């Protein structure tokens, strides 16, 4: 493997590496293809003539996650387990507090090193630091999610897409290689390890529960099929993704979020195809996504108003006392019962399908600012609704998108106005100038009827 992968090791503990099997603690990048953490762990094991184990620990304490999220994730994990079994790698499914369960497995296996995949969010960081306290086994964390590893892209918090874009593009070629797959036969499993893997896969399947027919089909295979369809038929329409009625979204973000598809593979496919829509998709799936990663990596308060730029925080504070035409609680918003039928439709679509068109995400969050007593309350409400109802909730993309909408993160000051101050304003009439609002609302109404029909 090229020495470039060393730059993908974004964190490691001081403990020296010892002999013994290699344990890949899978969490964010739940796939066996194009996964640098898996490739790195496999390389360490092969070079040392040691076994490779992959463990995933399920915890029901991930903030705001619901049965829909677990159902989508667990189905994808069952596919991961089977794929690892085919490649002679033992897969262990654990349940409980991840650091404790993984460390006790590592000690049981006498692992010489633990490889993690990198996630910038608070709970992922906490798991890794707890693991380090619980064990003296060396832990190395690989950035398998970003094309340009987050610490290689920039060593500081970036102001916006315009500052990080040149840095990302300058390194894109260096990091565009596909992560080497596991060669068949590279690893062999004993009888008992095969049985162990099968037991793990069965337990995952039993916990996955019923599949919600309105949600996309999860898993690596499905993700790759969707990517192929999108690149072949949807990419050129992506240029009009701002019109919700064009249904031009890629639909890939839940697969990115759960790591079932590597963003690199999607961006590389768009670059290879080129033409209309390719640049817009690359901007979203590469530049905007890795800007949000930079935001969560360097800004601990990625879900608080502390993350807002000074101009926005001051301006929102100055207009904190402005009269609001409407005030809604999270419950009222969740029941899609505001006065704004476009907003209600977007919220309803997210509750039914687990996603809403990209343009409406910005409108949706900005209206929450307009209808909340202050920016802090609005931020909390938007994050709560997004984490609960969006299939790709709890993702750096979501936190950065909401902080952009409500607190001007990665944006610039606009003309001062009530409530918003100098944070960019979006209006219903502005939306109506961009697309046929009536058409979008009536399509969502049909979706709701359809849903009622399904759930009858
Ligand atoms: N990762 C895990 O290692 N174990 C889990 O039980 C788990 C549940 C989960 C539920 C919803 C969701 O959106 C993500 C979930 N993840 C889980 C993934 C993990 O939280 C991600 O790696 C981070 O959110 C990304 O930084």
pLDDT at 209: 80
**CA separation, residue 157 to residues 98, 231, 366, 385, 390 (Å):** 29, 32, 23, 26, 26
Question: Where are the alpha helices (H) located in 211-357, listed in sequence order?
Answer: 220-229, 253-257, 263-273, 278-282, 289-298, 310-318, 330-334, 341-353
- Asked whether 136 and 45 are in contact (CB, 8 A), the reply is no
Between helix 310-318 and helix 396-407 the angle, nearest 10°, is: 50
With the most atoms of ligand 1 within 8 angstroms of its CB, the residue from 57, 60, 65, 91 to mutate is 65
> In angstroms, rounded to a whole number, what is the distance separating the alpha carbons of residues 16 and 185?
29
DSSP 79-139: HHHHHHHHTT-EEEEEES-HHHHHHHHHHHHT-SEEEEE---SHHHHHHHHHHHHH--SEE
Q: Whose CA is nearest to atom 3 of ligand 1?
A: 27
pLDDT at 1: 47
**CA separation, residue 64 to residues 67, 300, 385, 395 (Å):** 10, 19, 9, 12
265 Cβ inside 6 Å of ligand 1: no
> In angstroms, rounded to a whole number, what is the distance separating the alpha carbons of residues 271 and 264?
10
58 Cβ inside 6 Å of ligand 1: yes
- Ligand 1 atom with minimal separation from the 29 CA: 22
Q: Whose CA is nearest to atom 4 of ligand 1?
A: 58
- Ligand 1 atom with minimal separation from the 396 CA: 26
Query: Which positions of the chain have pLDDT values less than 70?
Result: 1-5, 452-456
pLDDT at 210: 81
> In angstroms, rounded to a whole number, what is the distance separating the alpha carbons of residues 23 and 139?
10
DSSP state of 309: -
150 Cβ inside 6 Å of ligand 1: no
119 Cβ inside 6 Å of ligand 1: yes
69 Cβ inside 6 Å of ligand 1: yes
Residue 8: closest CA among 137, 115, 167 = 115
pLDDT at 284: 97
394 Cβ inside 6 Å of ligand 1: yes
pLDDT at 450: 77
What backbone phi and psi angles, to 5 degrees, belong to 132? -65, -35
pLDDT at 452: 66
Q: Whose CA is nearest to atom 19 of ligand 1?
A: 28
57 Cβ inside 6 Å of ligand 1: yes
Q: Whose CA is nearest to atom 1 of ligand 1?
A: 27
C-alpha 245 to ligand 1 mean position (Å):
31
Q: Whose CA is nearest to atom 11 of ligand 1?
A: 65
C-alpha 28 to ligand 1 mean position (Å):
6
Element (H, E) at 52: strand 52-58
98 Cβ inside 6 Å of ligand 1: yes
> In angstroms, rounded to a whole number, what is the distance separating the alpha carbons of residues 174 and 4?
8
Q: Global pTM? A: 0.96
pLDDT at 5: 65
> In angstroms, rounded to a whole number, what is the distance separating the alpha carbons of residues 260 and 392?
12
Element (H, E) at 56: strand 52-58
pLDDT at 425: 98
């Amino acid at each position: 493997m090229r020495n470039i992968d060393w730059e993908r090791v974004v964190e490691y503990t001081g403990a020296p590496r010892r002999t013994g099997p290699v344990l890949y603690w899978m969490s964010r990048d739940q796939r066996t293809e194009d996964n640098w953490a898996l490739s790195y762990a496999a390389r360490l094991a092969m070079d040392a003539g040691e076994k490779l184990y992959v463990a995933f620990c399920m915890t029901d304490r991930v903030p705001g996650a619901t049965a829909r999220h677990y159902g989508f994730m667990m189905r994808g994990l069952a596919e991961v387990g089977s794929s690892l079994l085919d490649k002679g790698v033992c897969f262990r499914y654990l349940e409980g507090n991840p650091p404790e369960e993984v460390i006790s497995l590592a000690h049981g296996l006498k692992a010489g090193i633990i490889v993690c995949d990198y996630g910038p969010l608070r709970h992922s960081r906490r798991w890794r630091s707890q693991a380090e306290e619980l064990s003296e086994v060396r832990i190395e964390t690989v950035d398998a999610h970003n094309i340009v590893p987050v610490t290689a892209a920039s060593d500081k918090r970036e102001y916006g897409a315009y500052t990080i874009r040149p840095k990302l593009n300058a390194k894109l070629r260096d990091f565009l290689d596909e992560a080497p797959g596991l060669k068949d036969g590279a690893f062999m499993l004993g009888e008992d390890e095969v049985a162990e893997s099968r037991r793990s896969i069965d337990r995952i399947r039993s916990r996955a529960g019923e599949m919600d027919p309105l949600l996309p089909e999860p898993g690596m295979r499905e993700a790759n099929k969707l990517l192929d369809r999108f690149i072949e038929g949807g990419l050129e329409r992506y240029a009009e993704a701002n019109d919700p009625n064009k249904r031009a979204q890629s639909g890939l973000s839940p697969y990115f979020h759960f790591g079932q598809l590597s963003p690199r593979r999607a961006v590389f496919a768009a670059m290879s195809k080129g033409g209309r829509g390719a640049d817009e998709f690359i901007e979203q799936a590469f530049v905007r996504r890795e800007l949000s990663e930079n935001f969560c990596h360097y800004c601990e308060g990625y879900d608080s108003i502390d993350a807002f730029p000074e101009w926005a925080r001051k301006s929102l504070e100055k207009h904190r006392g402005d009269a609001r035409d409407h005030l809604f609680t999270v419950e009222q918003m969740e029941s899609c019962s505001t006065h704004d039928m476009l907003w209600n439709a977007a919220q309803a679509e997210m509750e039914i399908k687990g996603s809403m068109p990209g343009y409406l995400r910005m409108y949706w969050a900005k209206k929450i600012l307009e209808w909340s007593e202050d920016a802090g309350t609005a931020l909390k409400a938007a994050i709560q609704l997004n984490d609960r109802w969006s299939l790709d909730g709890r993702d750096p993309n979501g936190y950065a998108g909401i902080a952009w909408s409500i607190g001007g993160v990665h944006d610039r000051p606009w003309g001062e106005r009530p409530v918003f101050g100098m944070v960019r304003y979006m209006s219903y009439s502005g939306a109506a100038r961009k697309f046929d609002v009536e058409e979008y609302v009536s399509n969502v109404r049909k979706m709701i009827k359809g849903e009622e029909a399904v759930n009858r």
